[in-house]
Amino acid sequence: MKKIYEFTSKYGTLIMLPLILVTFLKTCGTNSRIEKNGKRIDELTNVIKNNNDKVIKEIKLEGLRSEKRMIQSTDRKMLDVTRQSVIDKEIENLSK
């Protein structure tokens, strides 16, 4: 035990200095990787948000088209003519 104590008292600072330096340099590289990954996450979030908006728009369009087909397949003309024109306007607005 005495030999270990003597060794650490003689060479402890010489051993600790390179270890602290290596640890410091590793943390610097980690921060840059975290920043790069954060930027990539933001880009992917924007892509997902854009795709989500497109999917919602397509679902609305398809729902309106199917509603219009259902109205046209029935024989009720008087009540549904105005709804068909409203559906056409909505489809036109969503298609832009």
For residue 68, give both structure tokens: 């219009």
CA angle 20, 13, 6 (to 5 degrees): 140
> Rounded to an integer, what distance in angstroms lies between the CA atom of residue 41 and that of residue 11?
46
Average pLDDT over residues 29-52: 85
Average pLDDT over residues 12-24: 84
pTM above 0.85, yes or no: no
Amino acid type, 62? E
Q: Which domain holds residue 63?
A: 2-95
pLDDT band at 73 (very low <50, low <70, confident <90, very high): confident
Amino acid type, 54? K
Count of the separate structural domains present in the chain: 1
| pLDDT tens digits along 41-60 | 999 999 999 899 899 999 99
Average pLDDT over residues 54-80: 82
